[in-house]
Structure 1
């Protein structure tokens, strides 16, 4: 799957367990978030990931997650300017979709991140 930032400057392409970021004009590869850890079966065989991604309207933050993960569902926020993980969502039971609505991130239709991000666990990378 692929999605452009609203200004068209960045493109996010999802492949299995990762998100690849590219310049929307030149196609040049940009620094992106680390791959997700795919779940494994009881016999340690990778069960696979299906990563989804969404840009915040200003194009400076990318939310991404694995919609095949078993609950609790989590999403990660990648700061494109700082080139680092900036936050992780709290655990949720429903999370088969991911989108931004203004400055809020919606996971499975639940608003998670608004102007007050105090309920997010910060990630230092």
Structure 2
């Protein structure tokens, strides 16, 4: 398990290093995930070696959100002052995202000439 964690953290660290050296506008952990994905394709058995540890990490993923919750509590006064604006922004952007998704699906259906008759 320690080797698997070392591989995962090594990929993340390498991603951070690439991010900082190149200034690519992609977070270091995302670059690390891509590097790990490439490593899975290059080395047979690596994914089987990492899978048990990754499963444990994913099972306890909710613990990783504790710092975000603490950050929210730490800025409680800001939420008291700007909470309505934040809530309205979240609600409006969620509705806009849903409407854009609906429009994209409908547009794609029209573009591909899909109708209900063809689907049946």
TM-score bracket relative to the smaller structure? under 0.3
Say which structure is richer in helix: 2
Say which structure is richer in strand: 1
TM-score by length of 2: 0.19
